[in-house]
């Protein structure tokens, strides 16, 4: 046995009910129940459907995590939970469950930031985080560039999307192309049969003027509209839509902007480690393009495996364990679920 703390983490900010167990930097269990199939026919996450599913999944998912890890709840040293940002009704289910565990087990509670958890999770795979590091978080809910000095106290937002999140753009373009929700994996697959230079789609916020005000911000709404226009023009001229080419060219436009801005931020802040997280980090082109270009700048790229990039409880447990190890003050039982929790508030 080790002296490292056994931490249980709960994540319910969107449509995944995640319960993870970690001991220090070691992942013991990562149980996830997803309601994604219930949202698929609506083309996006329906908050009430997600909240109902979280309530149903909570206890079975906690039990499954304990079983997988081979621990009993009584062995747990601390509880961590996503307090925000996210869907408020969904967050509340996880926060209330975490408080009940804290009361029932008489163990400290850590209400943590979802975005910081996406950063901390990489420790489970690649060991201690380089300090500082630059984190790019891209998913259906977020697109942020963060300078991380200390993931338990100091996260500085450098930029974020000014309209759609990157993952949202994938979902919307997938829908235009008749591909299922969530769009990311389907675009990635379709893109393999197409050419990334077939269509020259716009790169949002990269003009010289935009770079003055929005150097590290993203915009994907114009790109999405450009793809829609292009597809409509094809359809109205009676020509078939080359799904592979559209998918590959769209994906290239997104990845190009993401990687360009992330590396620009690394160079600007003199940071040598880039960490990519969030569901879009599972995109194969984003990974390869980041590695290819980062190497030229002498920047190391860390990307957790896809299962740890999407929302899960292990990432929350990972951040919680770091809080315990670094001796941070636990949260009180009256903390709220904050749907718009700023990333600078890592611990409530």
Instruction: Give me the residues that bind Zn ion (CB under 5 A), please.
Output: 139, 311
Q: Are 112 and 348 in contact (CB under 8 A)?
A: yes
**Of 139 and 331, which has the nearer Cβ to Zn ion?**
139
Q: How far apart, in whole angstroms, are the C-alpha atoms of residue 28 and residue 6? A: 9
Q: Smallest distance from the beta carbon of 337 to another protein, in angstroms?
A: 6
Site for another protein in 101-130 (CB under 8 A): 101-106
Q: How far apart, in whole angstroms, are the C-alpha atoms of residue 6 and residue 24? A: 7
Which two structure tokens, joined as six digits, stand for 259? 């990687």
User: Of these partners, Zn ion, another protein, none, which one is at the site of residue 311 (CB under 5 to 8 Å by kind)?
Assistant: Zn ion
Site for another protein in 17-36 (CB under 8 A): none
Exactly one of 4, 36, 52, 345 binds another protein (CB under 8 A); that residue is 52
Residue of 264, 250, 271 whose CA lies nearest to 293:
264
The number of CA neighbours under 13 Å toward the Cβ of 208 is 0
Give, for 84, the enclosing helix (H) or strand (E).
Answer: strand 78-84
Q: Is residue 340 close enough to count as binding another protein by CB under 8 A?
A: no
CA 283 to chain centre: 12
**Of 97 and 347, which has the nearer Cβ to another protein?**
97
**Of 242 and 304, which has the nearer Cβ to another protein?**
242
Which two structure tokens, joined as six digits, stand for 175? 């829908």
**In sequence order, what are the residues at sequence separation of 6 or more whose Cβ sits closer than 8 angstroms to the Cβ of residue 272?**
130, 266, 298, 299, 300
User: Of these partners, Zn ion, another protein, none, which one is at the site of residue 225 (CB under 5 to 8 Å by kind)?
Assistant: another protein
Q: Smallest distance from the beta carbon of 338 to another protein, in angstroms?
A: 10
Quote the DSSP letter at residue 149. E
Q: Smallest distance from the beta carbon of 333 to Zn ion, in angstroms?
A: 25
Which residues of the chain form contacts with another protein (CB under 8 A)? 41-44, 46, 48-49, 51-52, 54-55, 58-59, 62-63, 73, 88-89, 92-93, 95-97, 99-106, 172, 175-176, 225, 228-229, 232-233, 332-337
């Amino acid at each position: 046995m080790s002296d490292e703390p056994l931490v249980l983490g709960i994540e319910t900010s969107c449509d995944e009910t995640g319960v993870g167990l970690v001991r220090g930097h070691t992942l013991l269990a990562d149980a996830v129940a997803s309601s994604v199939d219930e949202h698929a026919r609506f083309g996006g996450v329906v908050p009430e459907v997600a909240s109902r599913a979280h309530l149903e999944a909570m206890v079975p998912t906690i039990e499954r995590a304990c079983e997988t890890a081979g621990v009993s709840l009584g062995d747990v040293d601390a509880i961590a939970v996503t307090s925000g940002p996210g869907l408020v009704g969904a967050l509340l289910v996880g926060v209330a469950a975490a408080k009940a565990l804290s009361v029932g087990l008489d163990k400290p509670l850590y209400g943590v930031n979802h975005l910081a958890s996406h950063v901390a999770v990489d420790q489970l795979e690649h060991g201690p985080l380089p300090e500082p590091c630059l984190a790019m978080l891209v998913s259906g809910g977020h697109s942020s560039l963060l300078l991380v000095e200390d993931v338990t106290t100091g996260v500085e937002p450098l930029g974020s999307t000014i309209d759609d999140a990157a993952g949202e753009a994938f979902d919307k373009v997938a829908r235009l192309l008749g591909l299922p929700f969530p769009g990311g994996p389907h675009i990635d697959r379709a893109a393999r049969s197409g050419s990334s230079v077939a269509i020259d789609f716009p790169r949002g916020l990269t003009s010289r003027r935009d770079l003055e005000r929005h150097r590290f911000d993203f915009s994907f709404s114009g790109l999405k509209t450009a793809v829609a226009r292009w597809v409509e023009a094809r359809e109205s001229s009676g020509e078939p839509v080359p799904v592979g080419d559209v998918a590959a060219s769209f994906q290239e436009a997104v990845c190009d902007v993401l990687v360009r801005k992330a590396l620009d931020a690394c160079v600007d802040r003199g940071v040598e480690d880039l960490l990519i997280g969030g569901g879009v980090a599972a995109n194969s082109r984003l990974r390869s393009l980041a590695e290819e270009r980062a190497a030229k700048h002498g920047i190391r790229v860390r990307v957790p495996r896809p299962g740890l990039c999407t929302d899960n409880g292990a990432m929350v447990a990972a951040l919680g364990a770091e809080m315990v190890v670094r001796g941070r003050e636990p949260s009180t039982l009256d903390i709220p679920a904050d749907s718009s929790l700023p990333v600078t508030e890592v611990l409530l």
